[in-house]
Structure 1
Amino acid sequence: MSTEKGFRSPQNLDGYVIPPQSIRVLNIADAGFRDEKILAISVNATAGQIVAAKEQHFLGAGRLGYVLALGSPSMSDQWWFADGEKGTGMTETLMIFNPSDEQVSANVLILGLEDAVDPPATTLTIPAHDVVAFNTSALVGMPDGLHGAVISSQSGDNLVVERILTRPAGTSVVTSVVLGGQEGARSMRWSVPTSIKIALKDALVVLNTSSADALVTVFSVGPGGEEPVPGLIDITLVANGIISIDLLDDLALGRALEIVGTQNLLVERRLERTSTLGGRSGSLAIPG
């Protein structure tokens, strides 16, 4: 467990037995980590294989949201994000976790900005078994608006990175958390198995992760196979550029979607929450 005060390895969680084909729930607060402002967790199986996920409620400190998400099964030297944003009432924090035994230097580079804007960048030191919370608005020259990002280690596969993004939602705010896409997750094809049923603007955010311009097409998958969605054919996306895509045509609603590019892409979804909660939640589409 990595906290604001340093690394801790609680003995009450060592040797925790999980029977075959079963689920066990750990209450981290009851395990001695209540009211931790920063907390990153490594779960290591001494035998067999496991899947670990987290259930997290953000309440207070300017955040409001609920997250149920899988953890990362591995570390990586690169972590990519498409749907970052800076603006009034918005807060974007990159949680950069180093589970390894060695200190890591991590480069943070902002992508998807206008050609006239030099990409803001910085290098951070991430101590062993520690997590650094980095607010992207602290970058010099960071403009308002949509942007992508890539966080790169200078020394190999030794990082795990999540993005916490809080945006205004009516009279309140909504906080979403997305685990980044690893280096191997960049793909020329992304799948959305469950699409929205009601027309939605800015439903997809696509980042061109290559140094060459790309063409992007959204296909609807029906009984007859793939069919391009009108108005979403051969969309030009400049090198390292970013676009948001509206899903308004009936062909894009209630069907699985395929987002296909001529270069490697990263695709995030912006999904509406319930009518009572408001705002959007974020998630990666599925690469490959």
Structure 2
Amino acid sequence: MSRRSAPAAIVIVLSLIGLIIVGRDTTPAAPAFFSSSGGTWMPSVGASGALTGSWFCPGVPATGEGGVGGSVVVSNRDEGQLIGRYLILTDDGAVADREFSVAAWSQTRIDVDATIPEPTAFASVVVEIEGGGGFVEQIAEHPAGNSVDACSDETSTTWYLADGFTVDGSINTLVLTNPFDEPVVARLRFATEERESQPGQFQGFTVLPRTVRTIPIAELGARDEPVIAVAVEATAGRLVVARAQHYLGGGRSGYDVSLAAPELRDQWWFADGERGGGISETYSIYNPTSDDVEVTVFFGGLPLDAGVEDLDPIVVGPRRVVVFDPYAERPVPGDAGGDAFTPVDEQENGEDTAQDEGDDAFVEFATQVGEIPLGRHATVFSTLAQPSIVVERVLTRPAGDGVATSVVLGAPPRPDGFVARTWHMGIGPTEPTEDALVVYNIDQSEATVTIEAVGPAGPSVVPSLENIPLAPGSILTIDLVDPDVLGQELIVTSTSRVFVERSLPRGNDLPGRSGSFLLPSEG
């Protein structure tokens, strides 16, 4: 088992602590069945006893092709039986509406593509749990690699994605789900390296009740683009938005389905980052507001003598996306190439506004960070402005004879500054996996981490994973190789505040990993 950790630089840790402080064979659906959750955090595990708990899954491919499909896992984290209903939605509407139950301290898996009557591009699942005593995740299956993500415990009028990729024919698809009985009217904006666009056909477009609508980004004219940020804003109703990304070149390979961000934030945290041979690590920072935003970057989990220099704030112009590469030398803002932060004009009548040919100022890069040592590190993006940005990490690591790419949306603290000490994982590795968990201690205090496996009698401590030392402000990677943890729901608890990511095998005998955050406990 690997229990690797590195002491963090005291100055960086103290800074971070300061940030925290400051018509088919279908059963008719009952009317008004699914509630509209108004959460303001990331998907999280709450206390039992709520009247209902609704979960909205991003969507899985269901084309019927070999190796393509997906499932939803419902975990019952209580000693009583869990009772609920699920609804499967496609572009044709609701194609399944069924009741289910889950025994105490157990799980049930909904095989989406086996349940729907006919193949479809994407199918989304909405789960409602009586009493709210459970949580829901999904796994999207694809020959290019499987992808795990939490389902959302909220719907929203706004959704944002900071990264997208269409280089060398890579396929970037928006998946929009309307789980309610009324149509959603929405508008779409996207930003590339050269322009922001509001396509006329997507200003006031409709997502019909209880349906899934897909939008291939390349069809909007964004072909062969290395970065595409998207904002979806509902002018009537609420919905759920996700991105399906199939990497086919441009130095990337793999498949990912993940939720968009329902709100802008002033902080985004990442527990996993790595510098090493053949590894590419970039961060896409999207500012969809009408004002400049200054973004500060901190690196944690580093040795005290790492010598990483303080960065000048990254200025992200209005309605712009910045790609930040920690290791590449970039021009200083204001150097040759024109005004780095010339505003993008407001778009009208569905027209695009592009920079002059040769002017690459739309995506502005920060100056070099300094020498980040080899190995893992954590990264935090922060702004003192009102919540105004979305940040996603794209991490490409060597995998066999090729590479494997994973994109992860950062984790925000709760609006009151709360960061969890307990995190839940319903979908984990089914085979021994080294470095399966990455834990970042944000506190300047010694801590320990304990992992429990959930069985028929409830959670029980895994003896080989009990009281693992976690140094102040450090990163710990944990191997999940003990037979007691394989294929089980797991609970990760720390004596300090932590962020926890999982790094799972991509399946299909493919080398490489797919990353995602666990679900924090609401405390």
Bin the TM-score by the shorter chain. Answer: over 0.9
Q: Are 1:76 and 1:183, in contact at CA under 8 Å, matched by a contact in 2?
A: no
Q: What TM-score does the superposition give when structure 2 sets the normalisation length?
A: 0.54
Shift of 1:118: 3.7
Q: What TM-score does the superposition give when structure 1 sets the normalisation length?
A: 0.96
Q: Are 1:12 and 1:31, in contact at CA under 8 Å, matched by a contact in 2?
A: no
Whole-Å separation in 1 of the counterparts to 2:316 and 2:244 = 25
Partner SS, residue 69 of structure 1:
strand
Partner SS, residue 377 of structure 2:
strand
Whole-Å separation in 2 of the counterparts to 1:120 and 1:214 = 27
Q: Are 2:308 and 2:370, in contact at CA under 8 Å, matched by a contact in 1?
A: no
Q: Are 1:186 and 1:209, in contact at CA under 8 Å, matched by a contact in 2?
A: no
Q: Is residue 89 from structure 1 mapped to residue 278 from structure 2 by the alignment?
A: yes
Q: Which residue of 2 aligns with 1:151?
A: 381
Q: Which residue of 1 aligns with 2:260?
A: 71
Q: Is residue 131 from structure 1 mapped to residue 131 from structure 2 by the alignment?
A: no
Structure-to-structure mapping, 1:85-124, within 5 angstroms: 85-122=274-311, 123-124=313-314
Letter in 1 for 2:420: S
Q: Which residue of 1 aligns with 2:450?
A: 217
Closer, same or farther: CA 209–119 of 1 in aligned 2, 3 Å: farther
Shift of 1:199: 1.3
* Cα deviation code 1:94-137 (max 9, x no counterpart): 11111111110001111111222245542211111111001122
Q: Is residue 259 from structure 1 mapped to residue 492 from structure 2 by the alignment?
A: yes
Q: Is residue 196 from structure 1 mapped to residue 386 from structure 2 by the alignment?
A: no
Identical aligned residues as a percent? 40
Shift of 1:156: 2.3
* Cα deviation code 1:153-196 (max 9, x no counterpart): 12121110000000000110111000010122731110011222
Q: Are 2:287 and 2:321, in contact at CA under 8 Å, matched by a contact in 1?
A: yes
**What is the aligned counterpart of 1:240 among 473, 478, 500?**
473
Whole-Å separation in 1 of the counterparts to 2:458 and 2:308 = 40
Partner SS, residue 12 of structure 1:
helix
**What is the aligned counterpart of 1:22 among 211, 218, 221?**
211
Q: Is residue 40 from structure 1 mapped to residue 238 from structure 2 by the alignment?
A: no
Q: Which residue of 1 aligns with 2:169?
A: none
Q: Are 1:120 and 1:142, in contact at CA under 8 Å, matched by a contact in 2?
A: no
RMSD of equivalent CA atoms: 1.3
Q: Which has the higher strand share?
A: 1
Report the more deviating stretch, 14-23 or 135-144.
135-144
Which 5+ residue runs of structure 2 have no aligned equivalent? Answer: 1-189, 329-368
Q: Are 1:148 and 1:207, in contact at CA under 8 Å, matched by a contact in 2?
A: yes
Whole-Å separation in 1 of the counterparts to 2:443 and 2:307 = 17
Shift of 1:211: 2.6
Q: Is residue 230 from structure 1 mapped to residue 463 from structure 2 by the alignment?
A: yes
Shift of 1:7: 1.4
Letter in 1 for 2:497: N
Q: Once superposed, which parts of structure 1, at least 4 consecutive aligned residues long, lie more than 4 Å away?
A: none
Shift of 1:231: 2.1
Larger radius of gyration: 2
Closer, same or farther: CA 277–199 of 1 in aligned 2, 3 Å: closer
Partner SS, residue 219 of structure 2:
helix
Q: Is residue 180 from structure 1 mapped to residue 369 from structure 2 by the alignment?
A: no
**What is the aligned counterpart of 1:57 among 241, 246, 260?**
246
* Cα deviation code 1:62-106 (max 9, x no counterpart): 111211111000111110001100111000001111111111000
Shift of 1:232: 1.3
Letter in 1 for 2:195: G
Report the more deviating stretch, 112-121 or 163-172.
112-121
Q: Are 2:284 and 2:322, in contact at CA under 8 Å, matched by a contact in 1?
A: yes
**What is the aligned counterpart of 1:207 among 411, 415, 440?**
440
Q: Which residue of 1 aligns with 2:196?
A: 7
Letter in 2 for 1:153: T
Q: Which residue of 2 aligns with 1:162?
A: 392
Q: Are 2:268 and 2:380, in contact at CA under 8 Å, matched by a contact in 1?
A: yes
Q: Is residue 142 from structure 1 mapped to residue 372 from structure 2 by the alignment?
A: yes
Closer, same or farther: CA 161–274 of 1 in aligned 2, 3 Å: same
Shift of 1:212: 2.4
Whole-Å separation in 1 of the counterparts to 2:421 and 2:308 = 24
Report the more deviating stretch, 56-65 or 151-160.
56-65
* Cα deviation code 1:224-273 (max 9, x no counterpart): 11111122111121222101001121211121000001111111101001
Whole-Å separation in 2 of the counterparts to 1:128 and 1:183 = 24
